[in-house]
């Protein structure tokens, strides 16, 4: 069965777009307008549920995120939002805003007439009589969005095979090799998913990868013998190996050294 998921940034999102996708029964992941959406401001951002820490490996290091899912409504009409906070981006947002405020304070001392046409400044101002001043309420409101990103989605199952990152190659052969390896990985994942489905379960890919990371083997040479031992199987690893027809080695095995 073929599946398609529409992925679009906030510039392409509208009520009509979402209604059309819902009517077609299509899965989607859409960027949300955090500042202008009443639902996000009044419901999503006021949700008190704790966020879950998540560390993502990236090409230039790790990215620390805090993530949570919020559902509004029930059944097929439910709206699903994924809220993330990026700590590094939040720090940058605070620093950028502080730089604007420092510049704004300097401009206010010279006179406020030139500030009205500057949108970066105007968003932090309020009028008092015939003059302008910095609005603490607007600063506090803007701080709510530091490092924040919100997605609206009808995508019910996240698959690790959808992860991607920029990869830079300098030769055609490297590009072909990368595309081949990516296609091979997807093909193997599909076949493993079929084998697991035949046994009545579907693996959760990220959890399976985490369990596989903990599966390790060590070899010890002592007294002319080689002893091989492995860690215990955890999570879904055992069931997946059985579905694939692969026998795990014994926890401890011993044979003469060469």
- Listing DSSP states for 48-117 in one string gives -PPPEEEEEEETTEEEEEEEEEEEESSGGG-EEEEEEEEHHHHHHHHHHHHHHHHHHHHHHHH-SGGGTT
Is residue 227 within 8 Å of residue 251, measured between CB atoms?
no
State the SS3 of 205-226.
HHHHHHHHHCCCEEEEEECCEE
Is residue 28 within 8 Å of residue 7, measured between CB atoms?
yes
pLDDT at 157 (0 to 100): 46
What pTM was estimated for this model as a whole?
A: 0.51
Distant-in-sequence, close-in-space partners of 3: CB < 8 Å, separation ≥ 6: 27
DSSP percent split of the chain into helix, strand, coil, nearest 5:
40, 25, 30
Q: How far apart are CA 101 and CA 98, in angstroms?
A: 5
- Nearest partner of 234 among 252, 212, 203, 249, judged by Cα: 212
pLDDT at 76 (0 to 100): 65
Total residues belonging to the chain: 258
Tell me which residues of the chain have a pLDDT lower than 70: 1-3, 12, 58-59, 76-77, 112-120, 155-170
pLDDT one-digit tens code per residue, 166-185? 566 667 777 777 777 877 88
pLDDT one-digit tens code per residue, 180-204? 787 788 888 888 889 999 999 888 8
């Amino acid at each position: 069965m073929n599946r398609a998921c529409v992925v679009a940034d906030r510039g392409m999102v509208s009520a009509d777009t979402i209604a059309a996708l819902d009517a077609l029964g299509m899965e989607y992941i859409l960027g949300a307008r955090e500042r202008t959406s009443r639902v996000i401001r009044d419901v999503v951002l006021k949700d008190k549920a704790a966020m879950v820490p998540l560390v993502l490996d990236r090409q230039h290091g790790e990215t620390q995120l805090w993530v949570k899912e919020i559902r509004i409504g029930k059944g097929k009409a439910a709206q699903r939002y994924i809220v993330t906070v990026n700590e590094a981006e939040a720090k940058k947002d605070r620093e950028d805003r502080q730089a604007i405020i420092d510049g704004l304070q300097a401009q206010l001392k010279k006179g406020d007439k030139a500030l009205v046409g500057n949108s970066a400044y105007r968003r932090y101002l309020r009028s008092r009589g015939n003059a302008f001043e910095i609005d603490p309420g607007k600063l506090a409101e803007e701080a709510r969005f530091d490092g924040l990103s919100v997605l609206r989605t009808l995508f019910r199952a996240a698959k690790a095979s959808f992860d991607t990152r920029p990869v830079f190659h300098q030769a055609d052969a490297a590009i072909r090799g990368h595309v081949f390896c990516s296609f091979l990985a997807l093909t193997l994942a599909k076949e493993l998913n079929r084998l697991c489905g035949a046994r009545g379960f579907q693996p959760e890919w990220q959890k399976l990868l985490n369990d596989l990371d903990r599966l390790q083997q060590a070899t010890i040479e002592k007294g002319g013998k080689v002893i091989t031992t492995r860690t215990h199987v955890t999570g879904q690893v055992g069931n997946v190996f059985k579905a694939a027809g692969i026998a795990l080695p014994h926890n401890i095995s011993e044979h003469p050294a060469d």
